[in-house]
Structures are given as C-alpha cells and as structure tokens.
Structure 1
Amino acid sequence: MKAPRAVVIGSGFGGLAAAVRLRVMGYDVQVLEALDQPGGRARVFRRDGYTFDAGPTVITAPYLLEELFALAGRRMEEYVQLVPVDPFYRILFHDGSTFDYVQDEERLLAQIRAMSPRDVDGYRKLAAHAERIFDIGYTQLADQPFDRARDMIWVIPKMIALESHRTVYGLVARYIKDERLRRAFTFEPLLVGGNPFTTTSIYLLIHWLERKWGVHFAKGGTGEIVSGLVRLLGEMDVPVRLNAPVERIEVSNGRASAVCLEGGERIAADVVVSNADPSYVYTRMIDGAHRRRNTDAAVARKRQSMSLFVAYFGSTKTFPDVAHHTIVLGERYKGLLNDIFARKRLAPDASLYLHAPTRTDPSLAPPGHEALYVLSPVPNNRAGIDWKQQAEPYFERILEELDRRVLPGIRSTVTSPSFLTPDEFEHDLRSVDGAAFGLEPRLTQSAYFRYHNRSDDVAGLYFVGAGTHPGGGVPGVLSSAKVLERVVPRPAHPAAVPTMAGAAR
C-alpha cells in the first residue's frame, strides 16, 4: 500500500524541519513554496557581489539543526558550517557607554562590575532565575503540544513559582538597578516579536539559552542552512516546489483533504502542515463554514506582533572595529516601545540592530567592501503608515544615526541599498497586518493560548513556525516541528527513507 502524503505549505525553517521529520516518520512529503526561492523569511538577496540574509541572522541552540541531519543519518557539518560569534552582541547606549554580552561568565561579570558594582550579585541571581525558567519553559515544554486545557493546567503551578505573571522588564528590574543593564538584559524579546514591558518573563529563557549554547553564524550566511536542508530533503526524495502559492485548503468531512494552488491545481493530501501565518491560513485559506473556533472575529481579536523595517546595503569601505552583531539603543526605551506596540506611530527616534556578517565571513561582500543589514522595530500595518513614502526618508534617518554612533562616514559609502517594510511582510510573506513574528508573545498568547500545532477546527491540519507554539526565533520555530512527532499519527504503511549510501551525493 502507498504511504500517506503530507503536504507542507511554506519552506521557512519550520516547514523544512517539518518536512525532514515527516519524511523520517514515513510520510511521502512535498513542500510548496510561494516565492521563487526557499527559506521564507530566511531567503537570500544577492546583488552586485553582496550576499544579504533577508531574515534570521542569529543562530542559537545549534543542536536542533544537528538533530535534523542526524535523523536522516547525516552530519550537519557536511552541509553547513556554524561558527561561534563573540561577543554575542555589542550594545551601544545613548550616553556613549558600551557593553559586550558574552558567554564567559567572568568576562560578563567584569563588565557589570565596571558599569555598576552593586549589580554583580543581582545579575548572578537573575541568571539563576533565567536558568530555572529555561529548565521548565524550554527543556520541558518547548516540544510539547499545548492544544488541550489539561496540557496547561499541570504547568500553571510551575509558572506561578517562576513568576511568569511578571514581564521580562519587571523581572529583570527586580535584580538589576542600573538602567543601562536593565535594557541590555531585556531587549531580547524584541528578537521574537515581543515588548519587554508586556512580554511574559517566560521569555527570559532566551538569555539562558544563549548562555548555554552560544550564538553562531553560518559560513556563507543563514541562507546556507536553508540550502543545506533543501539538499538534504532532495536526498530524502522530498521535492521543494517553488512558485507554488497555495490559495485554499480543501476540507472534506471536517478533514484537510487537499491544497489548491493559485491557478487551480489540486494536490491531494492525507496530512497538511502549514508553515504559513495561522491567522492568514484560517481567514484566507479555509472556508468559514469549517472554522468553529478560529472564526474571522476570533482571529481579529488577537494581537499581532510589531513589524520591522530592514535595510540591506553594501559599503565601499570596511569597518573592522564593528562587532558582528550590534544593538544601538536610543535615549528612549519604554516610550519608544509604546510608540511601536501601543500608539502605533512611526517614532522620530529608533533603536537598531546592525548585522555586519563580513566580520565573520568576508566572502559575503566584494574585497574591501562590507555587507550590512540594519533592522528597526516599527509598528505593524494597523498603524496605516505609507511605506512607499516613508521608506527612503526613514532609511536616511537610520544612516544618520549609524554615521554618528557606529559607522563613521557610512553615508558617503553606501551602495546597492534595498528595503523590507511591513508591506512586504503582509503581501510577499502573507503575514496578517504585516506582523513580523505572528502573534505578540504575551502571557495570554503563549503556550495553550497561542495557535495550536494541531488545528482545533480541521482534522489533519497542523501548524509549525513562529505563529504557533512555542513561538518565534529559530529555536522556537525548529521546536515547533518537533511537536509534530507528538501530534501527527504514525503511518500504518510508512515510506522507506533513502539510506546514506543510496543518497545522491
């Protein structure tokens, strides 16, 4: 008998990881990607000799990638090379002081001591608390399904003990008194779409996750991880079909039975796994008659994350003193975040993340040049900002700040610039409201309260990616694919997976 067919919608990290795991489980798998290259948010822009990673640039918990290759009997090192980054981040404060966030505790404590001696013991207590959160929130829960109320009930006492009702900023402020250090240890929720002043302190697990496994970068760029996974899938007889946007998920007798592409092609499926934004899938791809829980009204009540303005550009000179990852914090912190998340207005100031990958891999730019990427959190498209008018002047404002604080002379050396705005998140990446990370990671939109990995409305439909449990960030997205192994039924007649020896090398 033929093995059942699984169709994966989207080839971001979640979709590719899901395809590997489903294939190993014994499904006949096909991946459908709407864009002209794989990767989703992790796609690559190449032009004029520069290579720009469009999305994720920080790789943590590399074991999650190693697992995928090991499941197929391969070694990750044969497909992609990860190298550690030190410091993890260089943080530039408005007053001109700097802080290097590093893995080594003694170096970390020495910097804290130099900046605020009274906070050394406070940081030790904060790190211990973050480790306890990590042991529960990540080690025990990241790859567990939360689609039944009882899944949540048993963990509530642990969450109370960990003070999960507090926000990230609120918990850090309990231990740390220096405002600069409070900002240094609370910006990380922004990497998964959350406001440190409203995001549950569960997300402090990111701090310990980075301390535990470090921060890494893929030689050749993050896109090389995508290429490695696509190559692995090819060896496993899993096609990744490009320019294949799904328009509709067909439901028969309450069960997903096929996907229909734009243009009318129908592809039958026994299982459908979506790496697309669940808000978009429920409201645009599934007829309302099949949605008892995730109705249009229910989806509209959810709070989508903020969006991003990302500029990619080269420089005809290099900046050897710049760190691989730099966080450029403005004078305002809470006020700026309120503008982004609550007031939904484009603020006159900004805090920035600057990515300089040529610090680690000079091959990403022509000789003597720099490939750069600067990201600014901005309101999602519910703000009504006209990005066709605002993108250029906003980039000029960012360049002025970079020129003044971290890249002196950059404005006269910029070449090959391009932008990614909330409009591209909404239209090219099919994210509702142009949100960059799906739902905002508040306590009321985490775990059981987030979109479930197993659809409540349609049997045989599953979700991976930032919009579902456990949430955004590369570790969260890869962990969402692990959840599938607990909720997708094992095939009665599994398809054989090609062995190492039989794979096309």
Structure 2
Amino acid sequence: MKKRIYIIGSGFSALAASCYLSKEGFEVVVLEKNATLGGRARQYKKDGFTFDIGPTWYWMPDVFERFFADFGKKPSDFYQLEKLDPAYQVYFGVEDSITIDGNLDTIYKTFEKEEQGSAAHLRSFMASSKSNYDIAIKDLVYKPCISPLELVTPKTVTKLNQFVSTIRKEVRRNIKSNKLIQILEFPVLFLGAKPSNTPAFYNFMNYADFGLGTWHPMGGMYKVVEGMVALAESLGVEFRTNTNVEKIQTDAANKVTGLVVNGEEIEADLVLSGADYHHTETLLNENVRQYSENYWSKKTFAPSSLLFYVAFDKKLSNVCHHTLFFDSDFDVHAKDIYDTPRWPDNPLFYASFPSMTDDSFAPEGCEAATFLIPLAPGLEDTEGLREQYFQKIIVRLEKLTNQDVQKNIIFKKSFCVNDFVEEYNSYKGNAYGLANTLFQTAFLRPKIKSNKVANLYFTGQLTVPGPGVPPALISGKIASDLITKNQ
C-alpha cells in the first residue's frame, strides 16, 4: 500500500517535492491555504494588466532544465523562455546609468569603458565565479547538509579561503569604480545578506548573472508554477486549495499521526512542510519543536519588501524590463535593513516592466510595472507609510528617467510586511527567508528532517540550500530524496 504524504504549502519547493515523491510511488496531497497555487509566486490581474506578485527574475536556467529533465521533460514543454538583452539597467543618477547586456563579451567592454583595466579583472573574477558555480550548483547544493563532511570534497578543499573571505573583499580587490562594484555586489542580494557578510564563494551568483543571463518566461513566472502543477498532476499529485493546516498532531512516540485542516482531523503517514519553517513549528506541541523563539530572534533574516503593482496608461521610456535604482547610498540602506532596522530615508529600489518584453502583461499602449523596496522584516507597516514611500520612489523615477508618469497611473496596489505575514505566515513578514551568511550556510541552517518528530520534514527558503527560486527547486529534491531514503 502506498504511503500517503501531505505537503503543506504549494510554493516552488513544495511543487518540486510533490513531483519527486509521486514519481517514487508516494500518494501525495498538497494543502494550500490560499485560493491559488504557487505560494509567493502568484499573479495579480486587473483590467487587462498582469503582475507577478512574487519572483520576477528568472536566473539559473540550468536548474530548471535539470528539474524537468528528471521527469523526461523540458521547460519548453510547459512555457516559452526569452533571453533578455539587455538583461537590466542600473541608474546611479540623472542621465547616469549602465546597461548590462545579455552577452558577456559586451559586458567586458562596458566595464572597460567605465574603468580602464577592469575588463581583465572581471575576466579573472568570472573564471572564479564559473568554477564556484560548477562546484556549487552542479553538486554541493544538492546535498542534504546533515553533516559538515558533505562539504569536504577535493574541489571545495581548494576553495577554503573563499569561505573566510567575503564578496565585498573580493569584488573590491581590483575594481575601483563604485558603480561597477555595486553591479558586482548586487547579485548576492538574492541570497538575502550584505556583501560584507556573504562568503566570497557565493560569487557564483555573478556567473548566474553575467554568464547564464537573465530570462523571462512568456506570460510571467506564474507560467513556471502552472508547468510544475501540470507535471505534478500528470504524476498523480492531488491539490487542495483554501485548505489551512491548523495543527500537526503527534503521538506519545513523537510521530506525526495527523493534521487538523479547516477544523477537521485527517490521518497522515508523513508530513512535509513547504510553509514557513517557524510557523510550521508553532503548529506542533511545544515539547517537539526543534527551535525556540529565542533561536529565531537571533537569526539574520533576508529582507522583507514593500511592493507596488502599478498600471500606466502609456509606454514608459528610458527604462529596461529590469531596472535598478542605485542613486542612493547602498551601505546606508543595508544598515537600515540588517544593523539597526528602520524605514530607510532614501532607499534603493528595483522596478520591473515586463510589458516591455511581453504584451500579455498590459493592454496595447500601456505599461505594467512592479516596484520593490527592500526593508528590514518586522517593521511597522501602515497605509500611510506605504504611500509616503511610493511618492519617494515615483518622484525619483521621474527625475532619473526624465519623464512624467504620475498623471498616467490608472491604479496601483501595494504589498508589504503585514501581507507577507497574513498571506504566507512569514516570520516577521520576511520575503526571502534566512540570509546565506557564513554561519547560516549549509549544515548550519534549520534541518530538513525534524530531529524531534520522526516523520516530519521541511523544505523551502528557511532550510537548505537557501533563498531564491532555483534553490527552492533544489530544496524540494533534497527533501524528497531524504524522505525516500528513510522509508
């Protein structure tokens, strides 16, 4: 008889795990508290406009290819990918921006134009970045990180110095231009930590950026969700939406016996949670929780975000599909997130204009835009503060890109700390999970297998390997492999 496993949540890690576990012969049921599947990767649609509520960047296409290949499929069986060229644009001031092309050779020329001699340094840096990528993404991150010995291989032994140095030190070793430094440090923001606290080994993110390029799934990131759901359903996975798990029940032997779902008790052989790790443990009796509130309070969390989904009645100019606004002090904003949490006075922000690439996002002649301001988790969140910060960034957008846009806004919707808590049970409203700092890497992250409840497992951004969509897919595979091995 097949063992039944209930998966809590339907984000990328949960969807990936559901596919692998069903393939291995488990009877898989996915329980999603919200009305739509995909976890944080949902969409908001209104008046002909479409917005990806969560992730908007498609990096590391090889990870997606590896996932679908495990089932004899390709991404193209489910969605169409377009490589962005240019990949993105970075504003540093009025009429002062650098555009990163989709071609590495062109990027070398862009660096050399900005700072003489920097292209040679970038070539060396990228060689290291690719080497680390090959070690990390093709092997290291697929380990369950039960033991630190998993990280000790002939290849990683030669990289030990890169675990004690930082991204900040390595980037600034030879590059002097502050603009180029910020461009090289920017990708580690996806890992949720400051460059000064991120091990140099993580420069593999620069290969993900410059080497593999930035892509767009036509129809948006939700097309990836739809593709994974279609694959899962073809494998026999059952999905239940509007299904809130209220308690995880255990017996005297500390084994899961069932769940309380929408007020009703159901029996369970195994449970895998793709929901927020901290929240999941609050569903257990206190004596079988692995991590205390004190433990979580001392962890370095990746940022939360203030997001705006904005519809414009005209096409915007002087921006790219992905546009970064780094015209304020990066270090000051980072301090406001990680060191002394507060609302930043002059925040950096990011904007996505997918309708520049994909006509399905907005009516003809219009533009759909998503704006994101990184924030410390746990901050006060009010409608007044949201509006105050929208005015800050929209005025800067107009000034930096030399265009009037406020009078062209049809509607806007915001999403912030309170929404992350309400919609996703996110600890302190964080958006990306635990930061990948040196002491929160690999085996030092919360464990995939509970050490107190025999048949309870976790997957997603608070466990290994860490924040981001590709790591979420990998986390789902790691968790499913561990479950299969232990049965």
TM-score range, shorter chain: over 0.9
- CA 76–160 in structure 1, closer or farther in 2 if over 3 Å, else same: closer
- CA 232–121 in structure 1, closer or farther in 2 if over 3 Å, else same: same
- CA 155–197 in structure 1, closer or farther in 2 if over 3 Å, else same: farther
Conserved? CA contact 2:166–2:199, under 8 Å? yes
Q: Which residue of 2 aligns with 1:418?
A: 413
Q: Which residue of 1 aligns with 2:401?
A: 406
Higher mean C-alpha deviation, range 402-411 or range 176-185: 402-411
Q: Which residue of 2 aligns with 1:305?
A: 302
- CA 83–451 in structure 1, closer or farther in 2 if over 3 Å, else same: same
- CA 476–52 in structure 1, closer or farther in 2 if over 3 Å, else same: same
The separation in 2 between residues aligned to 1:231 and 1:99, in whole angstroms, is 40
Q: Deviations over 1:418-456 (max 9, x none)?
A: 011011112211111111111122111111111122223
The separation in 2 between residues aligned to 1:228 and 1:281, in whole angstroms, is 27
- Any idea what SS the aligned residue of 1:346 has? coil
Higher mean C-alpha deviation, range 36-45 or range 184-193: 184-193
Give the CA deviation at 1:156: 11
The separation in 1 between residues aligned to 2:402 and 2:53, in whole angstroms, is 21
- Any idea what SS the aligned residue of 1:244 has? coil
Q: Deviations over 1:45-71 (max 9, x none)?
A: 011110000011111222333344444
Higher mean C-alpha deviation, range 320-329 or range 365-374: 320-329
Q: Deviations over 1:7-32 (max 9, x none)?
A: 11111111111111111111110111
The separation in 2 between residues aligned to 1:155 and 1:258, in whole angstroms, is 44
Give the CA deviation at 1:160: 5.2
Give the CA deviation at 1:95: 6.1
After TM superposition, the runs of 4+ consecutive aligned structure 1 residues lying more than 4 A away are: 152-157
TM-score by length of 2: 0.94
Give the CA deviation at 1:491: 8.8
The separation in 1 between residues aligned to 2:36 and 2:291, in whole angstroms, is 30
The aligned runs of 1:36-75 (5 Å cut-off) are 36-75=35-74
Conserved? CA contact 2:448–2:459, under 8 Å? yes
Give the CA deviation at 1:231: 2.1
The separation in 1 between residues aligned to 2:128 and 2:145, in whole angstroms, is 24
- Any idea what SS the aligned residue of 1:427 has? helix
Give the CA deviation at 1:108: 0.8
Q: Which residue of 1 aligns with 2:352?
A: 355
Q: Which residue of 2 aligns with 1:473?
A: 468
Conserved? CA contact 1:258–1:268, under 8 Å? yes
The separation in 1 between residues aligned to 2:71 and 2:160, in whole angstroms, is 40
Give the CA deviation at 1:199: 2.2
The separation in 2 between residues aligned to 1:16 and 1:209, in whole angstroms, is 23
- Any idea what SS the aligned residue of 1:366 has? coil
State the one-letter code of the partner of 1:223.
Answer: Y
Q: Which residue of 2 aligns with 1:108?
A: 107
- CA 97–120 in structure 1, closer or farther in 2 if over 3 Å, else same: same
Q: Which residue of 2 aligns with 1:333?
A: 330
Q: Deviations over 1:234-256 (max 9, x none)?
A: 22221221111111222232223
Give the CA deviation at 1:139: 2.2
- CA 418–105 in structure 1, closer or farther in 2 if over 3 Å, else same: same
Q: Deviations over 1:86-139 (max 9, x none)?
A: 122211113643222234222011111110013222211211221232232322
Unaligned runs of 5+ residues in structure 2 are: none
The separation in 2 between residues aligned to 1:64 and 1:249, in whole angstroms, is 32
- CA 157–109 in structure 1, closer or farther in 2 if over 3 Å, else same: closer
- Any idea what SS the aligned residue of 1:93 has? strand
Give the CA deviation at 1:217: 0.9
TM-score by length of 1: 0.91
Q: CA RMSD in A?
A: 2.1
The aligned runs of 1:442-461 (5 Å cut-off) are 442-461=437-456
Q: Which residue of 2 aligns with 1:502?
A: none
- Any idea what SS the aligned residue of 1:194 has? coil
Q: Which residue of 2 aligns with 1:496?
A: none
- Any idea what SS the aligned residue of 2:182 has? helix
- CA 317–174 in structure 1, closer or farther in 2 if over 3 Å, else same: same
Q: Which residue of 2 aligns with 1:342?
A: 339
The aligned runs of 1:123-142 (5 Å cut-off) are 123-142=122-141
Higher mean C-alpha deviation, range 419-428 or range 385-394: 385-394
- CA 156–66 in structure 1, closer or farther in 2 if over 3 Å, else same: closer
Conserved? CA contact 2:27–2:237, under 8 Å? yes
Give the CA deviation at 1:321: 4.3
The aligned runs of 1:3-82 (5 Å cut-off) are 3-82=2-81
- CA 75–138 in structure 1, closer or farther in 2 if over 3 Å, else same: closer
The separation in 1 between residues aligned to 2:131 and 2:70, in whole angstroms, is 29
Q: Which residue of 1 aligns with 2:422?
A: 427
The separation in 1 between residues aligned to 2:214 and 2:24, in whole angstroms, is 30
Percentage identity across aligned positions?
28
Report the number of matched residues. Answer: 486
State the one-letter code of the partner of 2:284.
Answer: I
The separation in 2 between residues aligned to 1:390 and 1:76, in whole angstroms, is 40
Q: Which residue of 2 aligns with 1:499?
A: none
Aligned mate of 1:441, from 420, 436, 445 = 436
Give the CA deviation at 1:320: 5.0
Q: Deviations over 1:448-498 (max 9, x none)?
A: 111122223222222221111111111111111121243112597xxxxxx
Q: Which residue of 2 aligns with 1:497?
A: none
- Any idea what SS the aligned residue of 2:453 has? coil
- CA 133–6 in structure 1, closer or farther in 2 if over 3 Å, else same: same
The aligned runs of 1:84-233 (5 Å cut-off) are 84-94=83-93, 96-152=95-151, 158=157, 161-233=160-232
Unaligned runs of 5+ residues in structure 1 are: 493-505
